[in-house]
Amino acid sequence: MLGSYRLGLALLVALSHIGTSIAGHNPGVVAVVGFYLVSGYVMTGLLRSHYTRLDRIPAFYADRLLRLYPAYLSIACMTYAWFLLTGVRTEYLRTTPRLGNIVENVTVVPLNFYMFNHADQFTLIPPAWSLGAEMQFYLIIPLLLFIRAGMRVWALSVSIAIFLAAAFGFVNSDWYGYRLLPGVLFMFLLGSWLYDMHQAREPSVRAPIVLMVIALVANVGVALHLAGKLLVPYNLEILGGLVLGIVTLNVLGHRSRNKVDDALGNLSYGVFLNHFLIMWAFFDGRVEGFISTASYLGISVLIAFVMYSVVERPVLTFRRDLRKSPGTQRVLLDLERR
């Protein structure tokens, strides 16, 4: 029962990009950390339920491509068309695109490395850098779960060490503590671990374990405060996102799904993708005041509904077929012919 939670996270991301803050802190960072945790939780459940063997990993990758790309490419094309028609330059569309820029936007993963390749000079969907990190996670999570026991714990430990190095300022805190996979992989893996714990342990056992993890996060916060690093970007938001996300997943993750929650969750990806285009095309890049903010979010949700109905929902049939082991090879062959 995570649909409404995911929509809430997407709306926080949209609000953060119009300058909304909470006590001077960025709620979008909290939301992205929440998305990382949810992704780890849901992907582990998907793999454990439908892609349980190594020979099923290609079907898992196909499932993920069908989940991400139809809506992503639709919004990216709409944004590109708006850019060509209006000629408007924005912070993220400030150069004339070359073939390399188009390839970066289509393949998504390079957008996560904007600090090295300057992909942010022409990014059709600015939040897509986090999709790049998520796609990298998709590539490695089957290997961490199925190749060798203990790989997930090893990867979790290394990622925490990288995150701590970033949080304490030994390397760039923004890049290595929030954006690049080595420093945020542990967030995905905490969600993965939480899914497995929900399957294996009674609620009376889960609660103390979750509280212990939260206590560890709090101790990191205290250590950062004593070192004068708690307010280094984006340490406080990340720790807050970890606590909020872990608590929410523990409470909601194992509850039964319902139609209303699913319907709300179906809108989350569209809101995440389309809100920059809404801001640029309808509000000239600036959303101010309650009425404008409500309109901005309302238009984003409406377009997300249309995109889900027209683009995302028709693809569900293919994704469901991929999850049926006997028909997997047939579906993959059909996809190759298209």
Residue pLDDT, tens place only, 139-184:
999 999 998 878 999 999 999 999 999 999 999 999 999 999 999 9
Phi, psi of 90 (to 5 degrees): -130, 180
Distances in whole angstroms, Cα of residue 168 to Cα of each of 70, 171, 228: 39, 8, 9
Which has more pLDDT, 201 or 86? 86
Residue with tokens 């929900």: 198
pLDDT at residue 9 in the model:
98
- Rounded CA gap, 75 and 277, in Å? 8
The DSSP element (H or E) to which 110 belongs, if any, is none
- Rounded CA gap, 14 and 23, in Å? 17
- Beta-bridge partner residues of 90: 93
The DSSP element (H or E) to which 201 belongs, if any, is none
For the chain, the structural domain boundaries read 3-337
pLDDT at residue 203 in the model:
75
CB atoms under 10 Å from CB of 172, counted, come to 16
CB atoms under 10 Å from CB of 295, counted, come to 15
- Rounded CA gap, 174 and 92, in Å? 18
Short-list 147, 62, 68, CA closest to 324: 62
pTM: 0.93
